[in-house]
Amino acid sequence: MGPGTTARLAAVSLVVLAGATVWWWSLRGHRNLPAPFEPPSRITEAGLLCPWRDPEADLARFFPAANRRDTRTLILSGRRVELARELGRQPTAEENALQVHRALHDNHPVGTILTRRVKGEHGGIELVLAVTPEGRVRGVKIQRHREPPEVASVLGEAGWLNRFEGRDRRSDWDAAGDCAGLPAGARSSAQAVVEGIRSLLILLAAGETSSPRAHEHHDTL
Amino acid sequence: MSLGWLALRNLLRRRLRHGLMVGALAVSVAVLVCLSGFGAGYERALRAELDGMGVQLMLVPLGCPYDAAARVMRGRALDNTLPEQALAEVRNDPAVAVAAPLLTTAALHPDDRRVDLWVGLDESGRALRPWWRVKSGAAWFTGPESVILGSEAAAAELRVPGDQLFCPAANRSLRVSAVLERSGTSDDSLFFVPLLTAQEMFDLPGRLTAIAIRLHDPGQLREATARLQQIAGAQVVTLTEMMGVFLNLVGSVRVLLIAIATLAMVVCALGLFNTMLAGVLDRAEELAVMRALGASRHHLFGLVTIESLLLAAAGIAVGLPLAAGSGHTLEGLIRPYMPLAPLGTFWVLTGGAVGQAVVISLVMGLLSGLYPAWRAGRVQPAPALKGD
């Protein structure tokens, strides 16, 4: 290839690059234009994972020593038989994967945060569960719910949520017993919370042993 | 040996140089075809989508009409409301086939950082929502305390028909009567309740946020709009107007893209001109020999022109399949930037776009080869053979 051809190639490449840059720049401003209405064009088939809505506050509350966190998705589809035995029911489709947020002090894990949406009597209840590296409950928070005020006050009461601290997946989980002192109207939602905590502990334990198949990505605090 | 065959042989002697030129031409042709296809396809898809929505007019409270119509169609709440009497007036208009009242309210839950969008509607609203499909439960509200959930709302709240759903903003418990199939519209995340229930829940008795209207005959749009515009406190927005605004917006982007495509074509034309001229200068002795052996100026002019046209034709031959193969990929890249992306594909390979690209490329090939061809025709055998 002669020097003339090389120069021509370089010139054409530069012009194409410049054109692409101008094109990208001109479109950039249109990205945030509000669509005046939404025709059927944004079908998202992804399942509705429960988001972690206030990570900074939750980390400060449950793991104050943490200065980093990372997020992993544990794939549990290969453990369904074992999970069914431990859960006492067939795992749901959503339980094929578990998003795990590890709280780290530098690179040393100090705990794990899990989130889960459970079925309350009047709507979804979003749980945040803090678990120690040994697999015991550090704390529980209800980050969002749709329960009437009388039920919400019972569920959100620190005394009731604190009773789960220190428990692990092998503890004596008795949802009826945990909800025995609660008003009748709150029991169904409370039992869903208890079952949600227990399920998360079981899923986490199963996922920790499946970690080679997990997909990982990292977020820094 | 014909001139065409000779031109082809000449091009094949410098494969790298001419191959690169064909590549550049092919990219330009593909860009041109893709952009033309986007313009036509986008407009067609947008029109089809608006026709499919079943609504031709929206009666909204006074204020910015586009903002109001856009908010209503996205299931967002309006700050102003219409009196319910406006519905009776709309229904009395002879041109109106369906008038569906809507009360859209945003229920704020600051503690949860959540906003629920509740839509009150009556039976007539279903006629204007052709995309509604019930996934489970009853076909419609089962009573005043019932709620129909969009698919995402149901998934987020883990609700199925028969479950209760509490609305904290209104302190009211409702029973889920149905869950809708996913439609890809804003309906997926909405909570639908009977109109009267919504008016009670949000303390807006006798008020509406909009009336969606379908006419017996879309040809009566102008007359109906003029009559409905007379309703006190209300204004009419036609979706045709809205579409015009969107198309203008898209049109300006399209003009910019076509300008870039034109720039690419011009650059290619200069490249082709350069390639042909360099070829003529490199082959001055060869052309002189041809002249000495009896080739006329016209023969040499024709030879170089045919070479230039052959390069353009090769660019077209490679560029069209490239456009066909890359159009949908390019659409995927562009779609997130579109102010309003219609459902499905909006890129189409039209005959017009192909014809336009073919004609432009051949004309470009012809023009780029004219001067080099003229130079070729002016080669003097004696000086050229002496190396002058």
- Per-residue pLDDT, A38: 39
Residue B164 and residue A122: Cβ atoms within 8 Å? yes
Q: How far apart are CA A52 and CA A55, in angstroms?
A: 6
Could you tell me if A136 and A168 are in contact, meaning their C-beta atoms sit under 8 angstroms apart?
yes
Alpha-carbon distance B293 to nearest alpha carbon in chain A (angstroms): 31
- Per-residue pLDDT, B88: 92
**DSSP single-letter state for residue A76:** -
- Per-residue pLDDT, A47: 47
- Per-residue pLDDT, A2: 56
Backbone angles phi, psi at B233, to 5 degrees: 75, 5
Q: How far apart are CA B253 and CA B261, in angstroms?
A: 12
Entry pTM: 0.60
Which of B57, B145, B158, B187 best probes binding to A when mutated, by most A CB atoms within 10 angstroms?
B158
Q: How far apart are CA B305 and CA B369, in angstroms?
A: 5
Residues of chain A numbered 50-79 and touching chain B (CB < 8 Å)? 53
Quick one: closest CA in A to B183, which residue? A40
- Per-residue pLDDT, A95: 87
Q: What are the tens digits of pLDDT across the range B181-223? A: 998 888 899 999 999 999 999 999 999 988 999 888 777 888 8
Q: How far apart are CA B167 and CA B190, in angstroms?
A: 13
Q: What are the tens digits of pLDDT across the range A62-109? A: 999 999 999 999 989 888 889 999 998 888 888 888 999 999 998 899
Q: How many CA atoms lie within 13 A of A19 on its CB side?
A: 22
* Among candidate residues A172, A137, A179, the one with its CA nearest the CA of residue A154: A179
- Per-residue pLDDT, B78: 57
The whole-number average pLDDT for the span A35-43 is: 37
Alpha helices in B293-350 (DSSP H): 297-334
Interface contact A185, partner B, CB < 8 A: no
Residue B156 and residue A39: Cβ atoms within 8 Å? no
What one-letter code names the amino acid at A131?
Answer: V
- Per-residue pLDDT, A65: 94
- Per-residue pLDDT, B148: 96
Q: Tens-of-pLDDT digits for all 388 residues of chain B?
A: 588 888 888 888 888 888 999 999 999 898 888 888 877 777 777 666 666 666 778 888 887 556 655 655 555 555 578 888 999 999 999 999 899 999 988 887 777 777 889 999 998 888 888 788 999 999 999 999 999 999 999 999 999 999 999 998 899 999 999 999 998 888 899 999 999 999 999 999 999 988 999 888 777 888 888 999 898 888 888 776 666 666 676 677 667 777 878 888 899 899 999 999 998 988 888 888 888 888 888 999 999 999 999 999 999 999 999 988 888 887 777 777 665 566 667 777 888 888 988 999 999 999 999 999 999 988 887 776 776 6
- Per-residue pLDDT, B41: 77
Alpha-carbon distance B154 to nearest alpha carbon in chain A (angstroms): 9
Which of B111, B112, B166 best probes binding to A when mutated, by most A CB atoms within 10 angstroms?
B166
Report CA-CA distances (Å) from B22 to A3, B19, B316, B344, B361.
19, 5, 9, 33, 11
Reported ipTM: the value is 0.72
What one-letter code names the amino acid at A49?
Answer: L
Scanning the structure block, which residue is given the tokens 């006492």? Answer: A88
**DSSP single-letter state for residue A128:** E
**In 3-state terms, what secondary structure has residue A29?**
coil
Mean pLDDT of chain A: 81
Report CA-CA distances (Å) from A221 to A54, A57, A61, A106, A206.
12, 11, 15, 11, 27
Q: Is A219 exposed, middle or buried (0-12, 13-18, 19+ CB in 10 A)?
A: exposed
**In 3-state terms, what secondary structure has residue B116?**
strand
